[in-house]
Amino acid sequence: MTEQGVRWTADQVLALAPDAASRKAGSKLAAPGPWSGTGSSREGMVWGLCRGGGGTPYRTAVDVAQAVGGSGPAYMCSCPSRKFPCKHALGLLLLWSGGEEGVPAGREPEWAERWAAGRRRTQGKREAGPEGSASGPLDAEGARRRAERRAERITGGVTELEERLADLLRSGLAGAEQAGYGPWEETAARMVDAQAPGLAARVRELGAVPASGPGWPVRLLEECALLHLLDRGWLHRERLPTDLAATVRTRVGLPSSADGPPVRDHWLVLAQYDTPDPKLTTRRIWLYGTTTGRTALLLSYGAAGRAPDLTLPVGLALDAELSAYPGAGQQRAALGEQFTPPAPTGARPPGVSTCEAAARYSEALRRDPWQESVPVTLADVVPTPDGASWQLADARGDTALPLTSAALARPGLWRLAALSGGAPVRVFGECGHRGFTPLTAWPTGPGEAVRLC
């Protein structure tokens, strides 16, 4: 473990909060007032006592070094809150982010040391666990048979879906507008039964298309056609190139593991954003390898009401190993060993022009025709109003990428406009057939990365 010299920024800390109320409550505790006995150690522990409503102060400790383990900081607090992390942990980290003043360097008190030691012990055991259990040839045979059974069920589901699509086109898409959500929900449920969650998700999205405004028949035909393409891919997967077959399996919804060779690099955190769902929050973290030039996506999930574990604040960089998931054109990777904790960096990803960005998307479609968008950094673009919409126009040249409707609805649009002030900025985002979704921007002059999502 390396030295924890670098304190996080308040922004990074606030990114840990499970919701807006916690952010607010945590901010209020970010003053020295209620705290006593605060301190932080070189090993990455931060602790303090927080006076609450009652008599005994709460004991709060955070193991920031654990963020290096890829699972976010570990928290301990004696308060009864069910929020995680609780407002005390957030307040303490904010205070710590403020500098030596609020949280001086020191040796951890006995109670915090006990907790940290206990935690690291159980974690050590858990990590050692899977390797310890012997996986004999019997297991492999069983796994093969299970996989075969699942493939059969998916094939059944795919066949059924093909019939459903053929029926739809036989009678015409015009009828889909009246049919509403119901039939698609039912089909999606059949795909879940067939253990093809990827297909189920695509089918569910089909149900929303007829209500998506002008031009819906085109979009519905496109999505039906791509779904059909995926079905055909699955049915003929043995004849596909290995990479494309892997992509098809992943798109259908089969789990895969990140078995690519570990790539060590200095990874710059380009963006982190959550897509909340009633049941599951998905967190996407885009990384850029400053040496390899690779862009990678880390996914992390949180059950309802809980923030996903992994937190890598934008603008930091970490020396770590990533392993890629299989599949052509896949960016998804898993975080392996980390050699340094995330630390602020002045590095920025190199950028391209709008034409090159569009070309990259085309290129990606050749390997994975179901790709919605690709991660791209635009070098010098000016956010430009275009009627009711906005576009990112090349600072040199006369081409521009429109922003997606999702991006237009976000407050980040105005942060981007403010940051630019009519001057070129560097923008990282996702570029696809619907347009560009900006996620992070850098000013032309010196300045930190600004989150737009």
Partner 1 sequence: MNTSSPLPTASAWDELITAALLGTDRRTPPGAAPGRDAPTALLDAAAAETVRRRAGLRPGRAAPRPEPAAEDLRPPLPGAAARRLALLLADRPGAGAGGRRGASPDLMELLPQWLTAVNARGFAAPAESLPALLDAARARTDLRPAALEFAGPRALWLARLNPDWRFALRATRGGDTALPGPAEAERTECLWQEGLFAERVALLASIRSRDPDAARELLATTWSTERAEDRLMFLDSLRTGLAPRDEPFLEQALADRSRNVRATAAELLSALPGSALAARMAVRAGACVAVDHTRDTPTLLVEAPHECDAAMERDGVSPHAPPGRGERSWWFGQLLEAAPLATWPARLGGRTPQQIVALPVADDWLSELHAAWCRAAVRQRDADWARALLGAPSSPGAGGPGAVSLAERAKLLGTLPPSERAAWVAGFIAAHGLSEAFQLLGVCSVPWAAPLGRAVVDALNIARDAGSYPWSFSGVMGLAERCLDPAESSRLDALLAVPDEPEDASPGAGGYWAEAFQRLGRTLRLRALMAEELGPPASGGQGT
224 binds partner 1 (CB under 8 A): yes
Choosing from 2, 28, 120, 274, the residue that interacts with partner 1 (CB under 8 A) is: 28
25 binds partner 1 (CB under 8 A): yes
Choosing from 123, 159, 290, 384, the residue that interacts with partner 1 (CB under 8 A) is: 384
Q: Is 119 exposed, middle or buried (0-12, 13-18, 19+ CB in 10 A)?
A: middle
Closest residue by Cα to residue 381 from 363, 370, 397 = 397
CB 322 within 8 A of CB 296: yes
406-435 positions binding partner 1, by CB under 8 A: 411, 414-415, 417-419, 421-423, 433-435
**The pair of three-digit structure tokens given for residue 217, joined into one six-digit string:** 């028949």
Choosing from 218, 347, 406, 409, the residue that interacts with partner 1 (CB under 8 A) is: 218
**The pair of three-digit structure tokens given for residue 362, joined into one six-digit string:** 């085309």
393 binds partner 1 (CB under 8 A): yes
86-105 positions binding partner 1, by CB under 8 A: 94, 97-99, 101
CB 326 within 8 A of CB 250: yes
Q: Which stretch binds partner 1 (CB under 8 A): 36-44, 56-64, 140-148, 399-407?
A: 399-407
Shortest distance in whole angstroms from residue 435 CB to partner 1: 6
**The pair of three-digit structure tokens given for residue 359, joined into one six-digit string:** 């070309």
450 binds partner 1 (CB under 8 A): yes
258-277 positions binding partner 1, by CB under 8 A: none
171 binds partner 1 (CB under 8 A): yes
To which residue do tokens 């009633």 refer?
278
Q: How many angstroms separate the CA atoms of 158 and 236, rounded?
A: 12
305 binds partner 1 (CB under 8 A): no
Choosing from 92, 361, 374, 440, the residue that interacts with partner 1 (CB under 8 A) is: 361
To which residue do tokens 């599951």 refer?
280
Choosing from 391, 426, 428, 430, the residue that interacts with partner 1 (CB under 8 A) is: 391
Shortest distance in whole angstroms from residue 382 CB to partner 1: 5
Shortest distance in whole angstroms from residue 96 CB to partner 1: 13
Of the two residues 143 and 418, which places its CB atom closer to partner 1 in the complex?
418
CB 245 within 8 A of CB 328: no
**The pair of three-digit structure tokens given for residue 403, joined into one six-digit string:** 């922003």
The enclosing H or E element of 333 equals strand 333-338
Q: How many angstroms separate the CA atoms of 381 and 168, rounded?
A: 43
222 binds partner 1 (CB under 8 A): yes
29 binds partner 1 (CB under 8 A): yes
- Residue length, the chain? 453
382 binds partner 1 (CB under 8 A): yes
